Structure 1
């Protein structure tokens, strides 16, 4: 993890730490305080605009550490809309319909302006246009759903803030594993801002998030996960990974919907049957212990997501075990209904405990039980066999994907470094997902990593030549031999690029003569060398690569030094 990314977390943490008490005092003077209802458990006058401090800290952090592009601008605009929606609701209590409208508008901004949508989503036998429309609908539902799920778990001191930090740190670590420093930096900027707030929000809380904070955090987590989350797989895992990490708020929301449907209540009607309420009241654990338990559960689900990168079987087994325990908790605490206990009832067929629900003593049930007693071993073996078969298929499917050559026009260097190999794998994944933004960033990254790395070059070999525009390769070769490659000496430590950071990715106004009608892009890349580059006399070097998109492929047409 680079020093700059770590520093971004520290800066937003400190900013939030300073701003929270100031915002709290102003809010109390203006009368913007938390009101009590059936779901709340707080006492006293407590400000409910802690989200304002988080938002301002995050915004200042982005101005300092992030290089904006179209996607970042779209996220910031959408975030501003969702923040205003929540902030207005904190003051005037918006109707559920108007609050939902604000969330949908914010989602449409990131979809239309930022082109942030579920990538690679296709359905067989349907036109691409229909699949794209469905992908947009799923994206809207995802953003709105996660925003509200995060808002719903904001019921105990420090619960929402702590879980959000765990989720964002997991996203950051996973993204760094695959070199997505942009996602990692964005995640830690927000995590730092929430961390400063958590100091004042942990029990006993002196300030609350409010809807402006909870909705903004939920919106940001939903959108950041749509940027890729670091997984090198299908669109299923684009959402599958964050679903696992966000299992606590997602399941709490899902159960709340079922519970209120069963009892014929409105979804917007507050109650005290959420996960945190059950821990606090049914199990009498109190606020602090309940919150810490839900932190631990979130960490375990996050571990599932991260572990999947390295050991899919272990991650799957851990996830199944957690879900079974989760279901047992739901049934034991009557989260849905007193009569809803399917798993406990099935278990009681075999263990016959007086403390567990039992099937009614009727002849039909008795016949079923007698047959089950005789054949339960066979059934159990079959169930175990099916579960492990599914795990094996998932694991084997991934192996087939990695072993099957993917059709791409981009050439992989024979003597590539570990960084180049990692970039190329990401490039293949981006092509399969149809993610053009990531594709051009990775083409630029592979090109500069190959061009500026000399430790793996043979005599006369020019790095990155295969990624340069075909009709201009001769000019590029001549340029390289008269510039960077002219300085090669056998008695120096040949440089190697070991890291890259994408600083910006924008539309370019440059164009080749006769090819003005094609799309051009400027991708600014910062490289870090293994040691000081003796040719450039620096450890880090920044260059802007211009690419043309032609024949469904990106090619480099120019390279400009940004180091002065």
Structure 2
């Protein structure tokens, strides 16, 4: 993790922590406080505009550590709208419908102007793909925005969970060289951390809707930027869904519970996860919050672990979901009648304290001791067979039976063998197969510069990245490279690119002879090396051209 990324977290933490006492004083003087009612768990009035410090410190951090482009600008504009709506709601109370309208407007700014949306619907026609992507993205942003707001019910709960989620996003982003996403995540995480010092039980301030809605909105958008896996594809939403499982499940259960009991979704109750931990299990505020921190951490761990070991990550996730479901049934979070797993478990243990299947219960009362013994043996055998089958499936190394599918052959080659290049190539191959052209274009530029600017393991006259150059330019470019950058090779034989950061991506007006009608793009990339070379600019501009079904590098300039 680079010093700049860490510094972004530290600086925003300090700024936020210094602002909070002033915000507390302002909230009390203006009367923007949380009043006691039958749902609240606090014992006195507390200022509820802590989101003001979170927003302002994250804004300052973004100005200090991020380079603006159309995506960052879209996020900042939309984030401002969400923050102002939440701030107005904290002081005047807005109806849920009005808040939803502004949430949709903010989401559309990100989708349309910022061009941040879920991709990977390549198997649909282009028009249907764009429409479907936009709809799913809209629901994702609005859903996560409100999920974080709904779980903001105990001191430090929403803030702590958000920090865990954002740190996980930053770590997975750094694994694939996306330090821009990592910085954006930690800027927000630091802003929340400074607030959490004053919000953990007993809280001196609440974040309010201005904080909860803003944090939820930013997390939803940051996850769309890539989450460290193959950038912004439909299938990689699984990663942020897993990390955000606590607020997502709490929201879905709340919708189902209120539907069953014929209540409006906007009608608050004490049936949330944190309420059940605090009141039904009698853990109190502090222990309830720490338990949900731990659960969020374990879900985050399963997502992070999946990056290295899909089997281990999947096993941990399934185990957590089973325990989560049992908790929901034991605490009657949905209803007293909803207990599918406990009912199935009771088939084996036959307890009077657990729900039973009526026809099985009548059968058991009529059967003889010999039949009861036979039934137990059959159940035990079936249970053993299930365990053996699952174990065999998880550990089997046999090659699966071939499935007749249409194979999409990537035109790109892997010319390097470093961890960074392997990672870029894997993402590039996936982007090509998913027809994610924007991501494919950027990854071609990234692979080229990371290979070109690395001397380690290069042969005497070998020039890195030339496999990604337009063929008619390779010879001239190789000659130029030998007399320019590659003249440093004998002096710095161990030079290697450790990571890269794509600063901007935009159409280019550059053209080359014979390809005047093709599409060209400029990708500005910053590089981090393992050693310094005096006079070498770490920021480069790569020009890429699309020819038939792939992209080629056709220009390189030190920015």
TM-score, structure 2 normalization: 0.91
Matched residue SS, 1:308: helix
Pairing 1:195–2:193 present: yes
Pairing 1:377–2:403 present: no
Matches within 5 A, 1:69-88: 69-88=69-88
Question: Residue 500 of structure 1: CA displacement?
Answer: 2.0
Alignment-derived partner of residue 547 in structure 1 = 544
State the distance in 2 between where 1:400 and 1:155 align: 51
Alignment-derived partner of residue 172 in structure 2 = 174
Alignment-derived partner of residue 154 in structure 1 = 152
Please tell me whether the aligned partners of residues 469 and 555 of structure 1 are also in contact (alpha carbons under 8 angstroms): yes
Matching residue within 293, 296, 303 for 1:295: 293
Please tell me whether the aligned partners of residues 548 and 554 of structure 1 are also in contact (alpha carbons under 8 angstroms): yes
State the distance in 1 between where 2:168 and 2:136 align: 23
Please tell me whether the aligned partners of residues 12 and 189 of structure 1 are also in contact (alpha carbons under 8 angstroms): yes
Matching residue within 279, 285, 305 for 2:303: 305
Q: CA deviation digits over 1:360-391, x for unaligned, max 9?
A: 47646768996964632354345446655775
More divergent stretch after superposition (272-281 vs 419-428)? 419-428
Question: Residue 14 of structure 1: CA displacement?
Answer: 0.8
State the distance in 2 between where 1:22 and 1:321 align: 45
Please tell me whether the aligned partners of residues 468 and 557 of structure 1 are also in contact (alpha carbons under 8 angstroms): yes
Q: CA deviation digits over 1:95-147, x for unaligned, max 9?
A: 11111111111111111112222111255xx5343243222211111111111
Question: Residue 335 of structure 1: CA displacement?
Answer: 1.1
Pairing 1:349–2:347 present: yes
Please tell me whether the aligned partners of residues 119 and 234 of structure 2 are also in contact (alpha carbons under 8 angstroms): no
Distance 1:388 1:219, change over 3 A: farther
Distance 1:492 1:180, change over 3 A: closer
State the distance in 2 between where 1:170 and 1:358 align: 41
Question: Residue 255 of structure 1: CA displacement?
Answer: 1.0
State the distance in 2 between where 1:49 and 1:367 align: 65
Matching residue within 383, 397, 413 for 1:411: 413
Please tell me whether the aligned partners of residues 122 and 132 of structure 1 are also in contact (alpha carbons under 8 angstroms): no
Matched residue SS, 2:307: coil
Distance 1:420 1:320, change over 3 A: closer
Pairing 1:435–2:436 present: yes
Alignment-derived partner of residue 462 in structure 1 = 463
State the distance in 1 between where 2:324 and 2:305 align: 20
Alignment-derived partner of residue 286 in structure 1 = 284
Matching residue within 544, 548, 553 for 1:556: 553
State the distance in 2 between where 1:395 and 1:228 align: 33
Distance 1:216 1:492, change over 3 A: closer
Please tell me whether the aligned partners of residues 162 and 295 of structure 1 are also in contact (alpha carbons under 8 angstroms): yes
Please tell me whether the aligned partners of residues 78 and 110 of structure 2 are also in contact (alpha carbons under 8 angstroms): yes
Q: CA deviation digits over 1:459-489, x for unaligned, max 9?
A: 3322222222333334323322332234543
TM-score, structure 1 normalization: 0.90
Q: CA deviation digits over 1:219-275, x for unaligned, max 9?
A: 111111122212249945411111111111111111111111111111100111111
More divergent stretch after superposition (304-313 vs 161-170)? 304-313
Alignment-derived partner of residue 21 in structure 1 = 21
Please tell me whether the aligned partners of residues 70 and 506 of structure 1 are also in contact (alpha carbons under 8 angstroms): no
Please tell me whether the aligned partners of residues 302 and 317 of structure 2 are also in contact (alpha carbons under 8 angstroms): yes
More divergent stretch after superposition (224-233 vs 272-281)? 224-233
State the distance in 1 between where 2:398 and 2:433 align: 19
Pairing 1:48–2:48 present: yes
Alignment-derived partner of residue 257 in structure 1 = 255
Question: Residue 66 of structure 1: CA displacement?
Answer: 0.9
Question: Residue 342 of structure 1: CA displacement?
Answer: 2.2
How many residues matched? 552
Question: Residue 311 of structure 1: CA displacement?
Answer: 1.8
Matches within 5 A, 1:389-428: 407-413=409-415, 415-428=416-429
Matched residue SS, 1:81: helix
Distance 1:113 1:313, change over 3 A: same
Question: Residue 210 of structure 1: CA displacement?
Answer: 0.9
More divergent stretch after superposition (57-66 vs 376-385)? 376-385
State the distance in 1 between where 2:473 and 2:398 align: 44
